[in-house]
Amino acid sequence: MPETAHLRPSGGIVILDFGAQYAQLIARRVRELQVFSLILPCTVSVEEIRALAPAGIILSGGPSSVYDAEAPYCDPAVLRMGLPVLGICYGLQWIAHTLGGEVHPAESREFGPADLEVFDSSALFAGLPTRQKIWMSHGDHVVRLPEGFRQTGKTPKALAAVEDLARRIFAVQFHPEVRHTEHGRDILRNFVFNICGARPNWTRAGFVAETTEAIRERIGGEQAICALSGGVDSAVAATLVHRAIGDRLTNVFVDTGLLRLNEFEETMNLLERRMGLNVIGVRAGERFLGRLRGIDDPEEKRRRIGNEFIEIFAEQARELERRSGHRVGYLVQGTLYPDVIESISVRGPSATIKTHHNVGGLPAVMPFELVEPLRDLFKDEVREVGRELGLPEEMLTKHPFPGPGLAVRVLGEVTEEKLEAVRQADAIVIEEIRRAGLYSALWQAFAVLLPARSVGVMGDARSYGLTIAVRAVTSEDAMTADWARLPADVLGRISARIVNETRSVSRVVYDISSKPPATIEWE
């Protein structure tokens, strides 16, 4: 059981996962209503659900058809627990199929906006207009309802909402969790508060107070250590633990030589002076560069950086134990809920492949107990908690930055000269994007140094300089991303400044690929 399990308030909403992305989005929407929600694989037992004492259950959508050989399913006893149930999309089809209704396999898919007409009164749509825009995404559709059910809403093409009031089972064919469904949030609010009778039990102040207390109890008088990455997750995790145990938490921040311009100094300053954290800064650029010499394979670069990092961290932990004369028993990590979902859902259908491991992959080789105070939170909730803790906005709104740093933004072998060029170019990209007021609208923006020289003219002479690719993307969660339509004048300024100010670069290109099929990073 995760160590924060006992903090999970009862009276929340359990979401049974029939397919990853939908379940996460539903969980976020419920939490936006300040009600705790938890995603469980659809295969979970009724006893496990009951142990959490939820106020209601939501069955998520998912990409399957109930006729698929491997179609995900729950224990039908979930529908007999006496708790209100809301089925969404596949959830509706599974309920209909399981309770004796009839689902027809898809002849074509219905995807996109549709007009919902609510033609019978329903607690789910209480207080809402009888006609509203919704978002559909389904193949199969229900053609005959199980006994006890009645239809309350339809679109011109399909049945859209059904319910069995006696059993308190509600279901919709559309997706209330997506923003395109005009009153989606209100529909979920009706379900959560009016039908399930949940109360707001999930606020950031409450989270901070309870988590701090739980950490204090758990770590007691012992020592903990934390690896700061310069990013928001580890900073918030460390600040939370610092609140609980003060300077018995030691943080290690390593300058890998692969950080952005001035990032080491600025982060040290921010966390140490402004936040009062106890931070050991380790300058280790040369060690990393040495390990990377002659290596051009991206995965090998990642592996070497990871290993070097672990070595440095272990040295620091041993040194700390030697100096203090006390064992360090706990390792603080900024693991987030999406990572946890990825690892629990392998039992359910939403298994996804995790390709990236942050430099935080430490515990396997070290005798620490893990403290992961953010493992129940989504990224935006982490930012909220950070705000509650008084972390500066510049830290909270910082773009994500890969653990191996600029090493994966210098394609091929990493040298000091190339790092210098990409570091300068990166600083220009960020400065111009900030100046244009676009920073917070982007998921990430950065420069990549390509392993290609190209001909240019500088003054009267021909040059043969480096090539920089500028990358800027919008995204919700990095699983998919779109290239940002930056204004041409911003791109123009970025290009001119990079060529003028770095000297070694003679050509700048803009990356217009989306993910998929490209990835955000180039390596």
The residues carrying an active-site annotation are: 89, 175, 177
Binding-site member from 222, 272, 342, 521 for ligand XMP (CB under 6 A): 521
Binding-site member from 61, 257, 334, 404 for ligand XMP (CB under 6 A): 404
**144 vs 356, which CB is nearer to ligand XMP?**
356
Q: How far apart are CA 235 and CA 253, in angstroms?
A: 11
Q: Which span (8-16, 80-88, 402-410, 431-439) binds ligand XMP, by CB under 6 A?
A: 402-410
**149 vs 522, which CB is nearer to ligand XMP?**
522
Contacts of 466 (CB under 8 A, 6+ apart): 418, 421, 449, 450, 453, 502, 504, 505, 506, 507
As measured in angstroms, the least distance from the Cβ of 335 to ligand XMP is 12
**320 vs 438, which CB is nearer to ligand XMP?**
438
Residue 41 binds ligand XMP (CB under 6 A) = no
Q: How far apart are CA 133 and CA 131, in angstroms?
A: 7
What's the one-letter identity of residue 473? V
Measured on CA atoms in the order 443, 331, 377, 137, is the torsion positive or negative? positive
Residue 402 binds ligand XMP (CB under 6 A) = yes
Tell which positions 333-362 bind ligand XMP, by CB under 6 A. 356, 358
As measured in angstroms, the least distance from the Cβ of 367 to ligand XMP is 24
**9 vs 400, which CB is nearer to ligand XMP?**
400
Q: How far apart are CA 468 and CA 411, in angstroms?
A: 10
As measured in angstroms, the least distance from the Cβ of 515 to ligand XMP is 5
The three-state (H, E, C) secondary structure of 349-370, written as one string: CCCCCCCCCCCCCCHHHCCCEE
Binding-site member from 212, 403, 425, 432 for ligand XMP (CB under 6 A): 403
Q: Please state the separation of Cα 458 from the chain's center in Å.
A: 44
Q: Is 444 helix (H, G, I), strand (E, B) or coil?
A: strand
Residue 320 binds ligand XMP (CB under 6 A) = no
Nearest to 382 by CA among 31, 55, 54: 31
DSSP sequence for 205-245: HHHHHHHHHHHHHHHTT-EEEEEE-SSHHHHHHHHHHHHHH
**189 vs 471, which CB is nearer to ligand XMP?**
471
- Residues that contact ligand XMP, how many (by CB under 6 A): 13
**Cis ω for the linkage preceding 298 (within 30 of 0):** no
Q: How far apart are CA 498 and CA 121, in angstroms?
A: 62
What's the one-letter identity of residue 195? I
**166 vs 353, which CB is nearer to ligand XMP?**
353
Residue 511 binds ligand XMP (CB under 6 A) = no
| Dihedral in degrees, nearest 10, Cα atoms 141, 147, 153, 156 | 40
As measured in angstroms, the least distance from the Cβ of 475 to ligand XMP is 8
Binding-site member from 204, 248, 302, 423 for ligand XMP (CB under 6 A): 302
**154 vs 409, which CB is nearer to ligand XMP?**
409
Q: Which span (177-185, 198-206, 209-217, 398-406) binds ligand XMP, by CB under 6 A?
A: 398-406
Q: Which two tokens mark 365? A: 């080789």
Binding-site member from 444, 463, 495, 506 for ligand XMP (CB under 6 A): 444
CA-atom Rg of the chain in angstroms: 26
Phi and psi based region of residue 220 (left: phi greater than 0; alpha: psi -120 to 50; beta: remaining)? left
Q: Which span (2-10, 169-177, 397-405, 449-457) binds ligand XMP, by CB under 6 A?
A: 397-405
Residue 304 binds ligand XMP (CB under 6 A) = no
Q: How far apart are CA 124 and CA 173, in angstroms?
A: 13
Residue 434 binds ligand XMP (CB under 6 A) = no
Q: Which span (83-91, 256-264, 386-394, 514-522) binds ligand XMP, by CB under 6 A?
A: 514-522
**190 vs 251, which CB is nearer to ligand XMP?**
251
As measured in angstroms, the least distance from the Cβ of 474 to ligand XMP is 12
User: What length does the chain have?
Assistant: 523
Tell which positions 461-500 bind ligand XMP, by CB under 6 A. 478
User: Which residues are at the interface with ligand XMP (CB under 6 A)?
Assistant: 302, 356, 358, 400, 402-404, 444, 478, 515, 519-521
